[in-house]
Amino acid sequence: MTAGRRALDVQGLGVRVGRRWIVQDVSFEARTGELVAVIGPNGAGKTTLLEAIVGLRRASGTVRLQERPLAHFRDFAQAFAFLPDAGSLPPETTVRTLVDQACAGAPRGARLAKLREGLTIDALLSLPIGILSRGEHQRVALFCTLALARPVAVLDEPFSAFDPLQLRKVLAAVREDMGGDTSIVASIHQIADAQAIADRILILAEGRMVAFGDLASLRARAGGAAASLEDVFVSLLQEAPLAS
């Protein structure tokens, strides 16, 4: 996928709790129309990093959107839509209530209709949130997040609830919605999924950035021209070059 101009620029981002750095000195960028996957072992700080990027955690460093530094919460709110990991939509409501609320704040046009169709939302409208399956719940949550049409969508484990067949449809819908305007930064636990969908990958371990780039550059760094992302990931974390 050909990405456009630089949309998101993160420089030296760090989050400290007490004396412990949860995330330290992370820098990367995302271009318009690009999907950046954040991968790392459990406890690497992926969720903390994403929360810091969208302004839900106080962090050192800078976050810029289209070269403009974000300082106040309203700046972050105008820049980002955020889908939390294991966030629970209110079971007291119906899908229609949440979809209507999301659409009310969204720019009108064919884009929303296409996204609804791609994520098969209309079939769920009359249902209460409380009876949705995990995959249906995640589709509704994803729709409500992407419908906001913010320049950058930050998604924490957005695809873990989908089976491979559903994942293809969801990804197709997400890619189509991105078009050339939106960037997505998503933490992805399944490395194979990240390889399949990401334009660039940020590898995080123990709160620090291990590597950032497209698959080709990561392979070159790990020394394995045809290696899978999983092999590259393991190699870079263990600092052991791949066998050619």
Partner 1 sequence: MLRELAIALRARITWVACAVSSLLVGHGFILAVDLFSASSRSALTSKLQAREMDPLAGVVRPTLGGLALALALLGPLLAARPVAIEKERRTYGPLCLAVGSSVRVMATKTAAALLACALLFAAPVMLFIAYAFAGGHVDSLETIVALLGETLRMFVVVGGSVAAAAWTATFAQAATLGIALSLASWAIDAAEGFAALAWLGGAAAWSTDRKLLPFAKGLVPIGPLLWLSAMAIAYFALACVGGSFQRSARSKAIAGAAALLAGIAVMTGAGGIRRMYDWTEARRASLPQPVVAALRAAPGRIEIEVFLDRDDSRRRQVESDALQKIILARPDVSVRMPLDREERPSEAARSDDYGRIVVHAGHGVRETRSTSRRELVTLIFEASGQPLPDWAQPAYPGYPAVVEGPSRTFLVLLAYLGIPVAILVTGLQLSRRRTAR
Q: Which two tokens stand for residue 14?
A: 């760090």
Q: Find out whether 44 and 30 touch, Cβ atoms under 8 Å.
A: no
Output helix, strand, coil percentages for the chain, rounded to the nearest 5: 40, 25, 35
**Residue 78 near partner 1 by CB under 8 A:** yes
Interacting stretch for partner 1, rule CB under 8 A, among 21-29, 75-83, 157-165, 208-216? 75-83
Report the nearest approach of partner 1 to the CB of residue 176 (Å). 22
Answer yes or no whether residue 73 interacts with partner 1 by CB under 8 A: yes
φ/ψ of residue 119, rounded to 5? -95, 5
Select from 3-11, 53-61, 179-187, 224-232 the region that touches partner 1 (CB under 8 A).
53-61
The rounded distance, in Å, linking the Cα atoms of 64 and 192 is 30
Output the smallest distance, CB 192 to partner 1, in A: 26
Report which secondary-structure segment, H or E, holds 48. Answer: helix 46-53
**Site map 141..160 versus partner 1, x via CB under 8 A:** ---xx--x------------
Select 146 or 201, whichever has its Cβ closest to partner 1.
146
- Taking the complex as a whole, the smallest distance from the CB of residue 154 to partner 1 amounts, in Å, to 9
Q: Should residue 43 be labelled a site residue for partner 1 when binding is judged by CB under 8 A?
A: no
Are the C-beta atoms of 98 and 140 separated by less than 8 Å? yes
Tell me, residue by residue from 121 to 140, as one string, x for binding to partner 1 by CB under 8 A and - for no binding.
Answer: ------xx-xx---------
Enclosing H/E stretch for 120:
none
Q: Is 182 in the site for partner 1 (CB under 8 A)?
A: no
Question: What distance, in Å, lies between the first and last C-alpha atoms of the chain?
Answer: 27
For residue 76, state whether it binds partner 1 (rule: CB under 8 A).
yes
* Cross-strand partners of 87: none
**β-bridge mates for residue 156, sequence order:** 187
Binding interface with partner 1 (CB under 8 A): 51, 54-58, 72-74, 76-78, 80-94, 97-98, 100-102, 105, 127-128, 130-131, 144-145, 148
